[in-house]
Structure 1
Amino acid sequence: MSSIPEYAHNLSLRMSQVMDRIGVNEKIVMKRRSLLLNESLLTLTQQLRGNDKNIFFFGSTIEGSTTLGLQSDADFVISLNKFNVIQDWSQWEYGKRNLLMIQDENVSPGYCLLQELRDDAPLPKVVEVDNDSYRDGMGRILLKNTFLNNFGNNELIRHGPAHSQQDVPGVSDNDHVFAFPCHLRPIQAGHWLNQHREEHWPTHDMIQYCSHTRCFVVCVGKTGSVNEILEWRISTSFAERFLLFNPNITQIRCYVLMKMILKTFISQRFADSISSFMCKTVLLHCISFTRSDAWNENTLLTCLSFCLSTLYNCVQNEYCPHFFITHNNLMSGRFSSEAKPLILETLRYVIESNGRVLLQIECDNYGSYLQSSLNGFVPIHPHSIPTLIAGQLLKYTALDISSLFKLLLSEMNDLSPRLAMQKLLTFMSYHHIENYTNIDRKAYRLITRYLCSTLGSILASSNIYQQDHLTYKNALSFMSLGLDSDVAYGKLKLASVFYCGGYIESTELILKNIEECYDLSVVEPVCGCYYFIHNARRERFNRLCYESNEECTLLKQITASCVYFIRCEINCCPTELQHEMFRSSQQDLAYRSEDDEWMDMAVVDSLPYLFFLQYKTYSRLGRQDDKQRALSNIARTVDNEPNLGHSETALNLLGQCMEQENNLGNAFKCYARSLQIRRRNNSAKIHICKLLNKLINT
């Protein structure tokens, strides 16, 4: 890489510039790492619900090695912590399902067998085998890798170790890999440690981290192995992610370009030949072979050619060693005799083009942008795509919070107020908090703000039912802790308590404050109840997300979650909204999925609910002009806000307001529009029946 022609420097700079403008730059890479917060949120929610699981994000999205056009999958590893994979008997733990890792000459490199052990003593299991196990010639009971099929959702598709969620409107494809944790490194990884101790990269600190980080075993065997159904693949995803968190931006861009080339020239013709994981492995090997100062913006083309040449040699020799488990050849048996020469020819064509083939890359319009840049034109505004990505990432986090909070509430919807409060207090005093990392603590605070609002609302609902206004103070003290959950949620819950308790002047003051804080040109509505296609986010929202590095602050200032009421909050839920808790008839229940538990709650988007409460408040205060303004705002929001998750509920509220205005024709139109949006599990049917009864009897 020492002799680099002059044209390569200029082309490399242009390549780097375009990469920067499609969102592969230091700032966006760091923002993608903020998904570690989502990882903590998911794990925390599982543990609050009593599930001994950890959920981890791996792959391109969190590494920063992707673009909008690459449409990378979201990779989740769900670690089942009640299992304990051990490498020697001293690691056996009482009460866990212990599995002894077996690696011998009969097991493929990078894989292992799992022998079942007793959970009450460090001894092998000797019971009869079942459908998930097999007794080998030595009498050992081995766990089949089909065992984890039992943990997958029936709606998910099986791909190797992954259960994939595909073709869901509005979300990228997700791979959910169920895995067993193994807290000590595999014995085979010792070869890697010795191999790299004298090299400049990975550094000594990196090697130390990788040597002590956890690994997993996942449920897939080596293709073609005689033990394929018994083998479990050893996953070093944590160490891989750690190393991919450390390359400089040129190395990340090189990896992204490799994937773009793969998608453009190889994947369409030879879908199962070269994987992005192989490209990642090649990159890691290339980084370890070279000095870090060789990877610069003006050497990107040379670095890319070096990586592609290394990949070419791997394909030619059908040998690509796993970066950590070096005996595991990723390309063993990967290429057919017909495909291999064609793949080599394609790679040689790309390498020998000296960068010209990059102009043919359609992904992210990279080729056309590069051509424009070479012609002296600015192909795209430097911040337009990066700001879009930044907004997308923050919206993902807000959606995760909303979805996970809904999941926690669903477990309390049918409980009595006393039991619901006990459960909430248990959540809020989670006893593992002292072991949290800083990111875990941020996640915990984000969730507990919403929980505080619910706890205060349940207390207030009981106070209203008992007409006990003296104990309002306890309810309000909890609700005050949730006021800054986002721009509107906690305040709207407090406004509901005051409205239902008859404190109309206080209600008006809170609603006025919310309206002042809710900047319609910035704030994004958030609904995590179900998957739907979100339209383009507001430009100012995206720009703020890009400019700020304080994600937790932004979540409080520019997002607005939908508002939830469970049944034991019913006295703090306006009468018009209470119908939503009983939207499902017996026939409707058959059309619900396991993710539709929110349908047993009253759920409404923040903005239309704000205007609805204003309408009701101004009605009580006799302020006709303000009341009509609020009514118009509800209608305008339903018509103009594209990202409402519960437009049907907003229309049901608007219809009831129309009824109170004695405008029965428009009320009926609102309910009819509501039913067009959601034909089943919709309280509009109740409202239509009541409206028809009113018309008949007047």
Structure 2
Amino acid sequence: MYQGPNYTETVSMRLSEVLSDIGVDERIVLKRRRTMLLKESIENVIYKIHKNSVFTVNYFGSQSEGTTTIGIESDIDLLYCFNDIPVIQDWCKWIPGVHNYLMIQDNFVSPGYCLLQVLRPDAPLPADRESNQYYFRDRTGKILLKQSIVSVGYFDKLPLHGPARVEQGPNGYLDADNVLALHCKSWPQQARQWLDQQGDAHWPSAEMKQYCSRTGCFVVPVGCRGSEHEQLEWRISTSLAERCLMLNLNITQIRCYVLMKMILKSYIKPQFEDVISSYMCKTVLFKCIANSHLNIWRENNLLSCLLLCLYLLYNNIINENCPHFFIPEYNLMRGKISPVVKPYILELLNNIINSEGVALLGIKCDDLGSRLHLKCYNLCPYKTSEYISGFLLLETANTILNSLLFISSTVKNKRPNEAVQTLTNCISKILNDQCEGLVERACQLLFPIYCTTLGSLLASININQHNTVSADALKLISLGLNIDVASSKLKLVSILYCVHEMQKADLVLSEIEGSYDLQVVEPAYGCYNFERIHLKQGFSATCDNHTEDVIQYATASCVIFLPCEIHCVPTELRYEMVRSTPGDRIFLTKDDAWMDNAVMDSLPYLYFLQYKVNSYLGRHNKKQSALSNLLRTIITEQNLGHRETALNIIGKCMEKEGRVRDALQCYSMSLNLRERNNAARMHICTLLSVIGNFRA
């Protein structure tokens, strides 16, 4: 890049424009934050309904801060906090009736860490009990809590990386770092001095510090490497306070942090994987903001801000000391930098700093380098904001739909009337929960799902007993008809079909088809992590200009029938509820819980129901048109999550049409997509048996 007059300002503006093009602007940052924080709220409402708030989930890190891009591929950071294990720092906070755990932060414990002493439940006194899998008696007689107290079956099977259990995401999905933690309501003693400090920028503000002090802290089960008490120490986590600071950064500060992560990903991590972390970069950013005037953090000064942060990081590496922002005695670089790699990292950073921005041209992440090169010649590369908006909306839609899996597990193996009572209680909890903000929004989004499911369950009971549907069932179903474009309405059509109300079913089908814009509507899934090939341009454009309200106009969730709704399901689809043989079931994982249900994508189910209704009404041409549309959908709709089920249904239609070879071909294609836990095996065996008997 030619370094003429106003070079730094020119590069800063071009760099800001490039980052805006790839989704690092105020609007997309806010969209990312709202999506992840709403997802957090939805999941906590679901846990509260079904698990009685045993724990609370928190989304931390880049995804919830909005400080990531498609190319950075930041992990999803999840912290699960157990709500029934109180941690205190002062004896006056002792809670009667339960075991309290007192944080010990003395000179014998590593900075940034603590021990947890067990207290008696009947008096604010130290506990006196034998050592076991959860407790350890130290040489002074204190009973200390072991890290194994937060063991959870599934997470224990995942590989451990620091305090996190790393869950590998399938193709197209991000990894998740799952951290189990305990919460202390008070601000950590080791960080109390920070509350009184005041930097040159008067940042963080007094209001921000007050909020941070109210959030308290977490303790996570990992000790300081090499410490005498490593197996008993708990790391103090100030994640809630850090999130508060991140949510109060301006766009230039956010872009500076994103650029630091890109430099880390492009230049340092390929050679020195775990030496410098993005958390260190965040800490460096906080320190730079606190010690500089806020007026330097402007778009036209972005390059200078970045170099300021890199220079501080460089000095931290020289001194092998990166002080924790809240607990300065806690050195984030302790034991991280070996004498062998240190000079190479310093040389790398020195070259990047001295290049005065030229090194940014070598960043391939999000094509930043090539985009910046084009911008310097006043060319306009493509933007990705619409694409990001589309995926963020689907993330919300999938989270809402995922509630059906919790419903399924809750009512599984229960009698119909018991299941009705359980769902009624769930709805009461949603209605009676006094909440506000995103939690209130989460309840508003979940309420229709629970109502429709309860209505369908009541309808199934009605059909089984009286071959009719009660007004109460229909009223409940109606409360959820606008969850999305099609899924709940298709459930209503299924119910009408099962009680032979074909004219009404036909009217609803016509309404669904009229509102299902094939150029806009995208399927949504809460069943499993389905890898999408692409997003429709019309869908992405629609999402870019709306919040989660557009879910009801632009998405079509898969239609899910629980086993207790079986009498609302056409015969052809009921086979999906028994798709797994005993031999298949041993291959099921936690992500396969949906397989006990009958599940089908909305669009093929729409055409299948049209085929069935028109067949019943004797409309041959419309029946054949529906079958043609069903076949076309399998070929043209790339984002079908349950394609194998659609092929099974087409096979049953082919049997109905007397096209036995075509039916067998459909079942074979279905098995090629999903070899195990597939009803196609049953269909093939049945069909071959019929053919054999016919020939005999």
| 1:431-450 to 2 correspondences below 5 Å | 433-450=432-449
Matched, 1:269 2:271: yes
Structure 2 partner of 1:63: 65
Deviations 1:103-155 (A, max 9, x none): 10111111100112234443332221113332112211112224434455244
Structure 1 partner of 2:640: 644
Matched, 1:694 2:696: no
Structure 1 partner of 2:672: 676
Residue 6 of structure 1 deviates from its aligned partner by: 1.5
Matched, 1:12 2:12: yes
Q: TM-score, normalised by structure 1?
A: 0.96
Matched, 1:562 2:555: no
Structure 1 partner of 2:421: 422
Structure 1 counterpart of 2:261, from 259, 262, 286: 259
Structure 2 partner of 1:243: 245
Structure 2 partner of 1:205: 207
Q: TM-score, normalised by structure 2?
A: 0.96
Deviations 1:595-651 (A, max 9, x none): 322211111111111111110000111111111111111111122222211111111
What residue identity is the alignment partner of 2:256?
A: C
CA distance in 2, matches of 1:586, 1:506: 40
CA distance in 1, matches of 2:675, 2:330: 54
Structure 2 partner of 1:489: 487
CA distance in 2, matches of 1:14, 1:595: 44
Instruction: Report SS of the residue matched to 1:435.
Output: coil
Structure 2 partner of 1:219: 221
Deviations 1:184-212 (A, max 9, x none): 11111211011138852111211111111
Structure 1 partner of 2:22: 22
Structure 1 counterpart of 2:300, from 291, 298, 301: 298
CA distance in 1, matches of 2:552, 2:403: 17
Matched, 1:625 2:608: no
Residue 453 of structure 1 deviates from its aligned partner by: 1.0
Alpha-carbon contact 1:145-1:232 (below 8 Å) kept: yes
CA distance in 1, matches of 2:37, 2:318: 38
In the superposition, relative to structure 1, how do residues 581 and 119 fare at CA in structure 2: closer, same or farther (>3 Å)?
farther
CA distance in 1, matches of 2:223, 2:571: 57
Alpha-carbon contact 1:70-1:260 (below 8 Å) kept: yes
Alpha-carbon contact 2:118-2:127 (below 8 Å) kept: yes
Alpha-carbon contact 1:410-1:598 (below 8 Å) kept: no
Alpha-carbon contact 1:197-1:207 (below 8 Å) kept: no
Alpha-carbon contact 1:53-1:80 (below 8 Å) kept: yes
Q: Percent of aligned pairs with the same residue?
A: 48
In the superposition, relative to structure 1, how do residues 138 and 5 fare at CA in structure 2: closer, same or farther (>3 Å)?
farther
Structure 1 partner of 2:499: 501
What residue identity is the alignment partner of 1:445?
A: Q
In the superposition, relative to structure 1, how do residues 172 and 353 fare at CA in structure 2: closer, same or farther (>3 Å)?
same
Alpha-carbon contact 2:62-2:68 (below 8 Å) kept: yes
Deviations 1:403-447 (A, max 9, x none): 232222232132211011111111111178543232111111212
Alpha-carbon contact 2:199-2:290 (below 8 Å) kept: no
Deviations 1:240-270 (A, max 9, x none): 0111111111111111111111122212222
CA distance in 2, matches of 1:272, 1:41: 33
CA distance in 1, matches of 2:154, 2:621: 56
In the superposition, relative to structure 1, how do residues 511 and 42 fare at CA in structure 2: closer, same or farther (>3 Å)?
same
In the superposition, relative to structure 1, how do residues 387 and 230 fare at CA in structure 2: closer, same or farther (>3 Å)?
same
Alpha-carbon contact 1:117-1:124 (below 8 Å) kept: yes
**Structure 1 residues without counterparts, runs of 5 or longer:** none
Structure 2 counterpart of 1:513, from 511, 514, 529: 511
CA distance in 2, matches of 1:375, 1:595: 49
**Structure 2 residues without counterparts, runs of 5 or longer:** none
CA distance in 1, matches of 2:159, 2:610: 47
Structure 2 counterpart of 1:527, from 525, 530, 535: 525
Matched, 1:588 2:589: no
Alpha-carbon contact 1:160-1:219 (below 8 Å) kept: no
Residue 303 of structure 1 deviates from its aligned partner by: 0.7
What residue identity is the alignment partner of 1:568?
A: C
Matched, 1:196 2:198: yes
Structure 2 counterpart of 1:653, from 649, 659, 670: 649
Instruction: Report SS of the residue matched to 1:595.
Output: helix
In the superposition, relative to structure 1, how do residues 147 and 434 fare at CA in structure 2: closer, same or farther (>3 Å)?
closer
Alpha-carbon contact 2:201-2:289 (below 8 Å) kept: no
What residue identity is the alignment partner of 1:411?
A: T
Alpha-carbon contact 1:82-1:97 (below 8 Å) kept: no
Alpha-carbon contact 1:281-1:323 (below 8 Å) kept: yes
Matched, 1:308 2:310: yes
* Bigger shift: residues 144-153 or 571-580: 144-153
Instruction: Report SS of the residue matched to 1:371.
Output: helix
CA distance in 1, matches of 2:421, 2:619: 41
Structure 2 partner of 1:112: 114
Matched, 1:616 2:612: yes
RMSD: 1.7
Structure 1 partner of 2:603: 607
Deviations 1:373-392 (A, max 9, x none): 112322x12xx311111111
Matched, 1:327 2:325: no
CA distance in 1, matches of 2:571, 2:73: 45
| 1:70-109 to 2 correspondences below 5 Å | 70-109=72-111
Structure 2 partner of 1:43: 44
In the superposition, relative to structure 1, how do residues 293 and 317 fare at CA in structure 2: closer, same or farther (>3 Å)?
same
CA distance in 2, matches of 1:13, 1:39: 35
Residue 80 of structure 1 deviates from its aligned partner by: 0.8
CA distance in 1, matches of 2:479, 2:124: 48
In the superposition, relative to structure 1, how do residues 570 and 632 fare at CA in structure 2: closer, same or farther (>3 Å)?
same
Deviations 1:453-505 (A, max 9, x none): 11111111111122164x61010110011111111111111111111111111
Structure 1 partner of 2:377: 375
Residue 235 of structure 1 deviates from its aligned partner by: 0.5
In the superposition, relative to structure 1, how do residues 404 and 431 fare at CA in structure 2: closer, same or farther (>3 Å)?
closer
* Bigger shift: residues 342-351 or 227-236: 342-351
CA distance in 2, matches of 1:225, 1:517: 63
| 1:315-464 to 2 correspondences below 5 Å | 315-378=317-380, 380-381=381-382, 384-430=383-429, 433-464=432-463
* Bigger shift: residues 422-431 or 23-32: 422-431
What residue identity is the alignment partner of 1:601?
A: N
CA distance in 1, matches of 2:413, 2:357: 63
CA distance in 2, matches of 1:57, 1:556: 25
In the superposition, relative to structure 1, how do residues 90 and 516 fare at CA in structure 2: closer, same or farther (>3 Å)?
same
Residue 5 of structure 1 deviates from its aligned partner by: 6.6
Residue 232 of structure 1 deviates from its aligned partner by: 0.5
CA distance in 1, matches of 2:121, 2:599: 44
Alpha-carbon contact 1:54-1:81 (below 8 Å) kept: yes
Instruction: Report SS of the residue matched to 1:401.
Output: helix
Instruction: Report SS of the residue matched to 1:81.
Output: strand
CA distance in 2, matches of 1:116, 1:524: 53
CA distance in 1, matches of 2:512, 2:558: 14
Residue 96 of structure 1 deviates from its aligned partner by: 3.9
Residue 7 of structure 1 deviates from its aligned partner by: 0.9
Instruction: Report SS of the residue matched to 2:257.
Output: helix
Instruction: Report SS of the residue matched to 1:33.
Output: helix
Matched, 1:474 2:472: yes
What residue identity is the alignment partner of 1:473?
A: A
CA distance in 2, matches of 1:297, 1:456: 54
Alpha-carbon contact 1:315-1:340 (below 8 Å) kept: yes
Structure 1 partner of 2:54: 52
Instruction: Report SS of the residue matched to 1:107.
Output: coil
Deviations 1:287-325 (A, max 9, x none): 111222211111011111111111111111222221112
Alpha-carbon contact 2:390-2:539 (below 8 Å) kept: yes
Residue 75 of structure 1 deviates from its aligned partner by: 0.3
CA distance in 2, matches of 1:465, 1:11: 71
